[in-house]
């Protein structure tokens, strides 16, 4: 789902279902704010920068290393951002964060990730509101979010199934 609002903000939402996993199993993986790289395949690293773990104000550094195949010296380009935890609600299984300093082109980006219980399994929702980005369209950003969230859900479900099998 993607739409441009009247004040030229972008809005989008991605969802992914985990058919064999309960919300209470998925939430601890998502609320561990500085370990998102374990689940998001496009991230190479994520680590603590400042603040108190599990508390609003916590800042994480996320980065992806892009190797240039066209360069003879195999130069790398590091795409990075600082993300600040705005709120964390374990009862609703929901967190909100914003992107601060970055070299990705994001300005005014705020997102919410929520784990919703379903009759069978659960669903993870990822919503955002952001200023338009130069060099990227809203549909491109929404497609990235949709594919990223699907991959995250698959990794989480696989990890949790493996943990259940060894218990």
Contact between 54 and 142 under an 8 Å Cβ cutoff? The reply is no
Domain range annotation of the chain: 2-166
User: Does position 5 have pLDDT exceeding 50, yes or no?
Assistant: no
Rg (CA), the chain: 17
Q: Which two tokens stand for residue 143?
A: 């497609």
User: Does position 85 have pLDDT exceeding 70, yes or no?
Assistant: yes
Looking at CATH, the fold of the domain delimited by 2-166 is given as Alpha-D-Glucose-1,6-Bisphosphate; Chain A, domain 4 (3.30.530)
Q: Give the confidence band of 51 by pLDDT, cuts at 50, 70, 90.
A: very high
pLDDT per position as a tens digit, 115-156:
999 999 999 999 999 999 998 999 999 999 999 999 999 999
């Amino acid at each position: 789902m993607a739409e441009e609002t009247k004040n030229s903000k972008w809005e989008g939402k991605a969802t992914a279902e985990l058919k064999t996993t309960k919300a209470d199993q998925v939430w601890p993986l998502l609320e561990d704010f500085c370990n998102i790289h374990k689940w998001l395949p496009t991230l190479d690293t994520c680590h603590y920068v400042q603040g108190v773990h599990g508390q609003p104000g916590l800042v994480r550094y996320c980065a992806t290393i892009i190797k240039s195949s066209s360069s003879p010296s195999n130069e790398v380009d590091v795409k990075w951002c600082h993300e600040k935890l705005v709120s964390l609600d374990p009862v609703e299984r929901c967190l909100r964060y914003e992107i601060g300093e970055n070299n990705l082109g994001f300005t005014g980006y705020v997102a919410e990730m929520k784990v919703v219980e379903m009759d069978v399994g659960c669903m993870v929702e990822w919503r955002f509101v952001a200023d338009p980005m130069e060099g990227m369209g809203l549909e491109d950003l929404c497609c990235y979010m949709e594919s990223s969230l699907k991959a995250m859900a698959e990794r989480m479900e696989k990890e949790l199934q493996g943990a259940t099998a060894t218990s």
